[in-house]
A and B are shown apart, each in its own frame.
Chain A
Amino acid sequence: MSVITYTLSKCSKCMRCVQACPTKAIRMQNNRIVIDKKNCINCFKCINACHHKGMTAQGSTLDDINSYNYTVCLVPSALSCHLESKQKVNALFNALKKLGFDEIIDLSPVEAAVFEKAKNYSNKEMYISSFCPLVNNLIKVKFPVLQEKVLPINYPSEIMAKIIRDKYKNEQIGIFNLCECAAKLALAKYPYQNLKYEVDHALSIVDIFPKIKSMMVDSNEEVKLSQKGLSVTSPFTIEKNPNILVTDGFDSILNILELAEFGLLEEYNLIRLYPCYGGCIGGHLMWGNAYTAIKNIDKIASTQDIMQIDEHYFIKDNDEDIDVDQRSIKEKIKYFNAVNLQLENLPGYDCTACGLPTCRIMAEEIVNGHKTLNDCQILKTKEK
């Protein structure tokens, strides 16, 4: 499910987003960018690549608070880490209350519990941590071979939302999650109509922060953050364990997933991948940088709490469906050979001038009957 919004009026048709997309989910069609909702993994690469601010990731608006009798706001550790002192943490929670939320819940003890659960899942086989939706989607689209190696553990925000839902069984409550990255904006019912999630609305920190900045004044209420939960948000602060492989950065995780596919990382029990540099604290929707935020962890933490959670809350039941290819092997091979035959006629530069990300996809479109060799800009120039 893609959370990326494209603005036609800002687009200069430079194809930078088409080239940047690691899952080839973007193409130019009828002079406008079209994003394939199934293959988009919300990695932010197209947003970074666009020189004209034509791509954005948007969450729900605060107006949605008014649709519920009682509202709960979830605050992830990644956000708390960007506050320099305990006073500021208290002030942030207080400001969120002033904004209209009835209850503010810190996710750090849940995040700690999810990490403990993942850590103790297996001591025989290698598994990949499932806390990051971007990694889960990347595996689904690009490394399906590793699908069975992804832990069946739910996201911390979903686990907490389920617990809240059970607590307020008969009431009409709205659960809002503050998101530090684009990928997490998809983990809610709205604004993207993913009705299988327990969280109602995903809010982007970028949208909320300017509104609460002036409201952040001292408060008497004390928020107790768990050091264990805060530290699992970054590869630099997570506990050192010889059986856990931890890395950050998109290219680095691609490399690790490739090695895992060849079965070369079986000596590890857990692989924890953070696509954002510096970990979740380095989420693209955060206002500060990850490396400064890491310094705050010891200053703002007051406990070592790990939330005690009933087993059934951990179970992941909201995986996106995988389309099963109904064609027979014979048909698949026939199609593959036909595509390869067309590919021989194309230049193979993957220049994107035709609007498609690669020559291979162009060859597929020719076989599908949607394009012809005349649509290739390079061949057209050569003819002249």
Chain B
Amino acid sequence: MLNKDFEVVNQDYQNMGKVSSQIKKMLLEIGFDPKILRRIAVASYEAEINMVIHAYGGNIHMDVDDDGLITLIFHDLGPGIPDLTKAMTPGWSTANEKARNLGFGAGMGLVNIKRVSDTFDIKTSPEGTILTISFKG
């Protein structure tokens, strides 16, 4: 068993992607199959970016069980997603100008995360959003 928590800071564009890097590095050190790591890297990066840009930061929890099931829980403090169906539509984005200038906010975030993960669950309310994804290693 392995549990680890990471903090993501709101609008911290300078350190964006560092938690995903840490997660990827850690799973590589444990010795997971690189094929599954690529999917995890893509999903965790997208989700981390979402937290920084839209969701006022929050917490990422990683859980690895002894059978190799990797669960990532992204718990943010954001305003919630008003229309989840719209948010799951390719190309739909609410990213602000600062984020778009940095090349983010193409509206593929959640779509891509769902595409690469084995299970995908999202619960959203005005107090925040909890995204739970898992990968079978």
Tell me whether A337 and B20 are in contact (CB under 8 A). no
In the complex, which residues 58-96 of chain A have their Cβ closer than 8 Å to any Cβ of chain B? Answer: none
Tell me whether A148 and B35 are in contact (CB under 8 A). yes
> Bound complex: CA of A325 vs CA of B26, how far in Å?
16
A337 with B24: in contact, given A325-B31, A329-B66 (CB under 8 Å)? no
Contact pattern, A 253-269, Cβ under 8 Å of B = 1, otherwise 0:
00000100111100000
User: Least Cβ distance of B20 to chain A in Å?
Assistant: 7
> Bound complex: CA of A286 vs CA of B42, how far in Å?
40
Contact pattern, A 154-173, Cβ under 8 Å of B = 1, otherwise 0:
00000000000000000000
Contacts of B24 in A (CB 8 A): 145, 261
Interface size counted on chain B using CB atoms at 8 A: 25
Tell me whether A262 and B1 are in contact (CB under 8 A). no
> Bound complex: CA of A145 vs CA of B20, how far in Å?
14
Contacts of A145 in B (CB 8 A): 24, 28, 34-35, 37-38, 41
Tell me whether B67 and A336 are in contact (CB under 8 A). no
Q: Which of B17, B29, B34, B112 has the most CB of A within 10 A?
A: B34
Interface size counted on chain A using CB atoms at 8 A: 19
Chain A contact residues, majority secondary structure: helix
Tell me whether B20 and A262 are in contact (CB under 8 A). yes
Contacts of B91 in A (CB 8 A): none
User: Least Cβ distance of B68 to chain A in Å?
Assistant: 4
User: Least Cβ distance of B11 to chain A in Å?
Assistant: 20
B64 at the interface (CB under 8 A from A): yes
Q: Which of A264, A329, A330 has the most CB of B within 10 A?
A: A329
Tell me whether B38 and A146 are in contact (CB under 8 A). yes
Q: Which of B28, B42, B64, B67 contacts A262 (CB 8 A)?
A: B42
Q: Which of B26, B32, B34, B67 contacts A147 (CB 8 A)?
A: B34
In the complex, which residues 1-57 of chain B have their Cβ closer than 8 Å to any Cβ of chain A? Answer: 1-2, 17, 20-21, 24, 26, 28-32, 34-35, 37-38, 41-42, 45
